[in-house]
Amino acid sequence: MEIKYIKNYKDLMNQVPTVLVLGYFDGLHLGHKALLDRARKVADEQGLTVTVLTFPETPRLAFARFSPDLLLHLTSQEKRFQLMEQYGVDQLVLTDFTSEFAANSPQEFIDRYIKGINARVLVAGFDYHFGNCRADVSDLTALFEGQVEIVEEVQVDGLKVSSSRIRQEIQAGNMSLVNRLLGYSFSTEGIVVHGDARGRTIGYPTANLTPFDRVHLPPAGVYVADVEVDGERFRAMASVGKNVTFDGTEMRIEAHIFQFNRYIYGEKMTIYWLDKIRDMVKFDGIDSLMEQMKEDEKVALHWEGT
């Protein structure tokens, strides 16, 4: 997949005819996959390529009062790019959603970007909006002279699959449902660093992770997880939060990896969050903590999905 960063429409030159997919892909969930599947099918039928036009950061940065959460994603940039290629995208065009970009009228957006990309077919979701007046897909059909494919709502459990729904489920710790909505396992990638080494003294050594990317995290709790190290995947139980039993004050991401005894400091590790076991609890001592961890271990080792 070719990745092209452009400053504005003037950077779009000599584009081959293509099926163009429109939208903001915070992460790639089942709704996004439906767009890309439709685009790939049409492209194969008509001998065209598939192009996605999107933004590296949320358009809300150009409109809303800033909060740090606006910089967080559902999926890391590297993973998003990998999935787009896997789902059949030939070219990814990225441009910043700035005040200047937002000022384009619907017709200017069509003339400058859609025609600049040489789109023969457009693919968009039923709730897609564009231009400085937030025109909808009916306007897209009226203004664009070529073929327009509108993809209807994708539902899971009778509700729309959307990035906002997935963010809500992440914050609720419903990781099994999050993974169903995404179509793959929600993950956190980073570097293994030194922690307090307390887990080793009670028989549950942990790998402490410092994340690479600006990706949402599950809420504080203990989780069933898979961990990937050096291309191998292992079952684990992972936690997010402060070590309240020992009066910890720093937010930590830790994973106890079953049947694993290597030192991996400085190595890249990915935690795949599968399901929540319990909330973080302050125990009255090491004995009660260890007793609970043994129960957590049973849950993690016997978990087979839902």
Question: 284 pLDDT exceeds 80?
Answer: no
Mean of the pLDDT values across residues 139-166? 96
CA distance 206 to 288: 18
Identify whether residues 115 and 219 lie together within a single domain: no
Cα–Cα distance for residue pair 124/139, rounded to 1 Å: 12
With respect to residue 283, please indicate whether it lies within any of the assigned structural domains.
yes
Residue 41, both tokens: 């099918």
Q: How far apart are CA 131 and CA 300, in angstroms?
A: 48
CA nearest neighbour of 124 among 48, 31, 4: 31
Full strand arrangement of the beta sheet holding 147-151: 2-5, 91-94, 49-54, 18-22, 119-125, 147-151
Average the pLDDT over 55-78 and give the result. 92
Q: Is the pLDDT of residue 128 over 90?
A: yes
**Has residue 34 got a pLDDT over 60?**
yes
Quick check: is 45 in a domain? Answer: yes
Whether 66 and 23 share a structural domain: yes
Task: Name every residue whose Cβ is closer than 8 Å to that of residue 66 and which is 6 or more positions away in sequence.
Answer: none
Taking residues 64-78, report their average pLDDT.
Answer: 92
Clarify whether residues 124 and 203 are in a common domain. no
| Chain segment 103-118, per-residue pLDDT in tens | 999 999 999 999 999 9
123 & 249 share domain? no
- Give the pLDDT of residue 243: 67
pLDDT score of 203: 61
DSSP type of residue 213? S
- Residues 6 or more apart whose CB falls under 8 angstroms from that of 288 comprise none
> Does residue 168 belong to any structural domain of this protein?
no
Q: Are 11 and 125 within one domain?
A: yes
Convert the pLDDT of each residue in 188-229 to its tens digit: 999 999 876 555 555 688 899 999 989 999 999 999 999 999
CATH of the domain at 36: 3.40.50.620
**Residue 185: how many CB atoms within 10 A of its CB?**
16
Q: Are residues 32 and 144 in the same domain?
A: yes
> Is 167 inside a domain boundary?
no
User: What CA–CA distances, in Å, run from 187 to 24, 43, 91, 167, 227?
Assistant: 20, 31, 25, 13, 9
Residue 95 sits in which domain range?
2-152
Dihedral of CA atoms 105, 133, 65, 188 in degrees, nearest 10, equals: -80
Cα 107 vs. chain centroid, distance in angstroms? 31
171 in any annotated domain: no
The answer to whether residue 160 sits within a structural domain is no
Same-domain status, 142 and 26: yes
What CATH number is associated with residue 281? 2.40.30.30
46, 141: one domain: yes
DSSP state of 27: S
Residue 220: what are its φ and ψ, rounded to 5°?
-55, 135
266 and 203 co-located in one domain: yes
Half-sphere exposure of 49 (CA within 13 A, CB side): 16
Residue 249 DSSP SS3: coil
pTM score over 0.85: yes
Determine, yes or no, domain membership for 297: yes
Confidence of residue 265 (pLDDT cuts 50, 70, 90): very high
Q: What percent of the chain has pLDDT over 70?
A: 94
Q: Which residues of 47-83 are buried (b: 16+ CB within 10 A; e: fewer)?
A: ebbbbbbbbebbbeebeeeeeeeeebbbbbeebbbeb
Across residues 244-252, what is the average pLDDT?
Answer: 62
Domain count, the chain: 2
- pLDDT (0 to 100) of residue 261: 86
Q: pLDDT at position 244, please? A: 53
Same domain, 9 and 146: yes
Whether residues 127 and 249 share a domain: the answer is no
Q: Is residue 161 part of a domain?
A: no
Please tell me whether residues 148 and 11 are part of one structural domain.
yes
